[in-house]
Amino acid sequence: MPEGDTVYRQARMLNDALGGQVLTRCDLRVPAFATVDLSGQLVHEVVSRGKHLLIRVGLHTIHSHLKMEGQWRVYSPGEPWRRPAFQARAVLATATAQAVGFELGMLEVLPTVREADAVGHLGPDLLGPDWDEREAVRRLAAHPDVPIAVALLDQRNLAGLGNEYVNELCFVRGMLPTRPVRDADLPRTVALAHRMIVANANRRIRSTTGETRRGRTAYVHRREGMPCRRCGTPIRRMSLGRNELELRETWYCPVCQS
């Protein structure tokens, strides 16, 4: 699933292409909103909120979530799409650009004044202008018995972290993903999470190690059986979550993390 920095970059790309422009085409290919046509209206801005994208058009917001496979792409007018048309869930065009949302996990339209209905439950946005570290710590601390990895993935606590960041964050902090929240140094963990995602906000290649060479960008994520970059112990994998719907694959070093 895309991380918050991916969605942040997608929002910036869409804002550069659509922001301040009038829609000449609005084609939403989901049954519930297939008859909605916002063409002729001004795109005020495109912003991200955690892993959510908000395209503000006229008095409405087109709200999308990439989920696992989703992606927005921008093309010049008349330029062929580089993905199959049947995967397109939204087509938004102006006189100078066309934005296509492929395989979006969720797409809806709502009045902008009701955006809180869609994203109001989210915790502080790690890449938002109103990032609040203390509030994120407070929300995490409210669930002391929850494994730290599960708590960090809960978007109601802080918005933007996905499985990759949480695996890497736990490694760098020396915590097993199963460590209870009560035993974690929450201020330092949250501060590191913020530094880590901000460092990658403008990178084409995400890296938590400081290296961008292929195969060198992560400490533990998806490295099962490979040697730990610190101690050489084989990296292990386990499933973690409060129920089957929330299960996540987690990678860790049994020596460097406790």
* 101 shares its domain with 196: no
Q: Can you give the CATH number for the domain in which 209 is found?
A: 1.10.8.50
Same domain for 89 and 200: no
Q: Are residues 149 and 198 in the same domain?
A: yes
| CATH number, domain with residue 101 | 3.20.190.10
pLDDT at 210: 92
By residue range, what is the domain housing residue 28? Answer: 4-119
Q: What pLDDT sits at residue 1?
A: 63
Within a domain: 258: no
User: To the nearest whole number, what is the mean pLDDT of the chain?
Assistant: 96
Note the pLDDT of residue 204: 86
Overall average pLDDT of the 212-217 stretch: 93
Residues in a beta bridge with 52: 49, 65
- Count: domains in the chain: 2
Nearest CA-CA partner of 1 in 161, 207, 202:
161
- Residues recognised as catalytic: 2-3, 51
Q: In the listed set 64, 85, 119, which residue is the last one of a domain according to the structure?
A: 119
Residue 32 has pLDDT above 90, yes or no: yes
For residue 27 the two structure tokens come to: 């084609």
Domain membership of residue 257 (yes or no) is no
CB 127 within 8 A of CB 3: no
User: Which pLDDT tens digit goes with each residue over 202-211?
Assistant: 998 999 999 9
Unique residue bearing structure tokens 């880590």: 196
Q: Which residues contact 84 (CB under 8 A, 6 or more apart)?
A: none
Establish if 169 belongs to a structural domain: yes
pTM of the entire structure? 0.94
User: Coil, helix or strand for 159?
Assistant: strand
Give residue-wise pLDDT tens across range 103-150: 999 999 999 999 999 999 999 999 999 999 999 999 999 999 999 999
Residues 160 and 246 in one domain: yes
Query: Apex CA 67: angle with CA 15 and CA 202, to 5°?
Result: 45
